[in-house]
Every structure is written in C-alpha cells, then in structure tokens.
Homo-oligomer: A and B are copies of this chain.
Amino acid sequence: MSKLKYKPKQRLKLNPPIIILVEPQLGENIGFAARAMLNFNITSLRLVNPRESWPNKQAISTSAGAIDSGKSNVSLHNNIEEATEDISYLLATTARNRDLNKPVLSPIEAAESLLHAQIKGMSTGIVFGAEKSGLKNSDIIKADAIVNIYSNSKFSSINLAMSVLIISYQWYSRKIEFIESGKLPKQKNLKKNSANKKELNFFISRLLTLLSDNDFFSPSEKKQSMVNNIEAIFTRSNLTPQELRTLHGILSNLIKS
C-alpha cells in the first residue's frame, strides 16, 4: 500500500461531505440522521421529496437540537439532479450488490475516497435511498462509486439513520487518523477538478436528446437500459470541465455533418 504524505504545514481545508436523503419516509429518521451527522461534524443535509411535510415535528424532536438550533443546514429538493448539481464526487449507498459496473467501496474505503476528493477541494456527497426500497438504479448510475456496508447476511436491513451514522462516523474517524498520521492510501483516477454533476448532467442530457431525436433508442423498451449505460460511461470517466467542453465541441461538430 503506497502512502500519500500529507505535509502538516500545508493548511488543509476538508469540507465535510453533503448527505442527501432521497424520498425518506419517516421524519424520525431524518432527525436521527441529522443528530448522527452533527455528532461527527457533518452539517449539510439535503432532502429530495421527503414523504412527510417539512418542517417536521418528529424530525426536530429526534434531532436533539441538531435541526432547530441552526447548527445543521437542511434543504429541500425536487429531484436528485438538483440536490447534487454542485457536487463533484458523489457516492451512492446500497444494501444489495447490484451489477452496475461501478467501483464498490467499504465504508472505510469510502471515507478514504471522500478525503482524497476533499483534499483536492472537491465538493463531495453521499446519497441514501428510502427506508424500504433504497435507491433506484437510475439514481445510483449518477454516482462515482457505490458504498456497501458489509453486515450480517441474515439480518442486513440497516435503519436509514444508522447507515448515515456509520458513514459519518467512519469519515470523521478516518479524517482524524489521517490528520494525525498524515497517511492515506493512494487513489487512482481522481482528477483534481472533476466537473460537477450539473455540468456533467447538462452534457449527458444534450447527448441523449440528440440521440433520441435521431431515433437512436430503438427498440423503445430498451431505451432505459441504453440511457443507463450511456450515463454510466460518462460518469465513470470522471471528466473535467475542460474535457466536457471538448465533448460538447465534438457533439456540435458531428451534428453539422
């Protein structure tokens, strides 16, 4: 395992990851999640279409002061694209293994990946799905990697707030260890300035619209899986804004021909 030596004199600003809950069902779990996050200095919580109305009394109660004290910053969003648009390195949590051709990380590997991105000044986030159903594949596709919490195969359903806690705790304790030791295993493929999800999504939707107009998606019942594959390719490439401009140029050029 090769190490990256962190120089203590070099001031590191490690912005905590943003936590995104997609369609959380119970206010109680939102509050518990906010409390667990704040225990480990993570303060930015984004809710995509929570089932219950917001602000929510039960969430405020179980947050034990995290929400109503203003120490945490909770915001509402209409969809996952909007909730992640300023994020450059995004992780998605899943309970089951899904065959999506994405790197699958343990919580500790996830913590290390987040730290690498944060050292580079990137904005980072972790998406969690609803209590019962988890994330849809079409949401997971948008992430740079998957986090999988290894647990008892005969009782693997981890409560939503508890999953948020594990990731928060692991990020925080790995960060402390890194700051004390200056060591972090090397990471491949993480570019200094990856494009954020808004820039990436803009390119992907432009491409998909063009392809759709040209009747690329045929037969139509295969469209969704074809879209997923295309999205996965460009997400995995970890593109910089400059590379995205190049790709836009290629697109513009091709449609003229």
- Chain A residues proximal to chain B, CB less than 8 Å: 32, 35-36, 38-41, 64-66, 71, 106-108, 149-152, 154-159, 162, 165-166, 169, 172-173, 176
Contacts and interface: CB of A to CB of B under 8 A. Distances in A.
Contact of A107 (B40, B152, B173): B173
Nearest to A177: B108
28 contacts: A32-B162, A35-B162, A36-B158, A36-B162, A38-B155, A39-B152, A39-B155, A39-B156, A39-B157, A39-B158, A40-B151, A41-B151, A41-B152, A64-B157, A106-B173, A107-B169, A107-B173, A108-B173, A150-B172, A151-B172, A152-B172, A162-B162, A162-B165, A165-B165, A165-B166, A166-B166, A166-B169, A169-B169
Contact of A40 (B41, B152, B157, B165): B152
Contact of A66 (B39, B41, B66, B155): B155
B176 A150 contact: yes
Contacts of A150: 172-173, 176
Contacts of A173: 106-108, 150
Contacts of A38: 152, 155
Contacts of A156: 39
